[in-house]
Amino acid sequence: MIKLEHVGRTLFATFSNPATLNALDASMAAELDKLTSLLRSDRELGLVVLQGEGRAFMAGGDINAFRGDDAVVQTTVGSTLSSLNAFVEALASTPCLILASVHGAVAGGGLAIMLACDLVLASDETRFVFAYATLGATPDGGLTHNLPAIVGRQRALGLLLASGPIGAEDALRLGLVNEIVADGEREARTRALAERLVANSHLANAETKTLVRAAAETSLREQLSAEKRAFLACAGGHDFKEGVAAFFEKRAPVFARAGSAPIRANS
């Protein structure tokens, strides 16, 4: 299952099947479908934090589902991948930011989900496992799209085809994660970072996410035009006026969003 906890405009979504290291099985895929629907419908969310219960974030797909009659395997795996793909697309397209807070094992589909997020915070004891080659399988969940975008084509192929597990320091060096913290400090740091992110202007967060995600597929001229449009959209709203006023008044801005109470940014 996936446990949901709402804290203001932040949603903490916790993969919760620790007995399987939160493996992506048919049950977890059904839970992803529900979370996908929520991401697509709830426009009041400012931030979603993805994390795992127990000893791991997510240890990839359920290997048990790969055994048995070929037709059954094709049907089961195909259905699970459809759920994973829809979830990955929702992570990219939702205007709210997505923060992955990872620890333990991050493998296979779990790695695909992590790299589909906007920001990643990792425990220093996290292990990232590119397990597809040893199973005789190809990557899924957008890995062949997101991984090369982060590390480049050759490094991506090396990681996917010839790499064993890598640790948190290597993941940070490669740009797979934004920050690593001591394992015992991860939960507190996650909460603190979540508070910092959601205190920003929601509109500015959403527009920045859209710009950055589109940059690789647009020309410089198109990107400049998109940046101008986004800046003017922000400049016409309450948050921009409040940010400018706060700057001159030497105080923290109090950003607001339609339908929600003002949010005071951290100083």
Which fold does the domain 202-264 belong to in CATH? Lyase 2-enoyl-coa Hydratase; Chain  A, domain 2 (1.10.12)
In sequence order, what are the beta bridge partners of 97? 47
Residue 76's pLDDT is what?
84
CB neighbour class for 184 (10 Å; exposed up to 12, middle 13-18, buried from 19)? exposed
pLDDT at residue 260, as a whole number:
43
Closest CA to 4 of 40, 44, 32: 32
Task: Write b or e for each residue in 156-178: b if 16 or more Cβ atoms lie within 10 A of its Cβ, otherwise e.
Answer: beebbeeeeebebeebbebebbe
pLDDT digits (tens, 9 = 90+) for 189-219: 999 999 999 999 999 999 999 999 999 999 9
Instruction: Tell how strand 254-255 and strand 263-264 pair up.
Output: antiparallel
Residues 59, 108 contacting (CB under 8 angstroms): yes
Sign of CA dihedral 82, 21, 143, 2: positive
Beta bridge partners of 123: 181
pLDDT tens, position by position, 223-267: 999 999 999 999 999 999 999 999 999 999 999 764 344 444 543
Q: What is the pLDDT of residue 75?
A: 84
- Residue 228's H or E segment, with its range, is helix 220-235
| 31-33-36 Cα angle (round to 5) | 115
**Considering the domain 2-198, what is its CATH architecture?**
Alpha-Beta Complex (3.90)
Q: Model pTM greater than 0.95?
A: no
Q: Give pLDDT tens digits along the chain (267 positions).
A: 999 999 999 999 999 999 999 999 999 999 999 999 999 999 889 999 999 999 999 998 877 777 777 776 788 889 999 999 999 999 999 999 999 999 999 999 999 999 999 999 999 999 999 989 988 999 999 999 999 999 999 999 999 999 899 999 999 999 999 999 999 999 999 999 999 999 999 999 999 999 999 999 999 999 999 999 999 999 999 999 999 999 999 999 999 764 344 444 543
Q: Name the residue ranges covered by the structural domains of the chain.
A: 2-198, 202-264
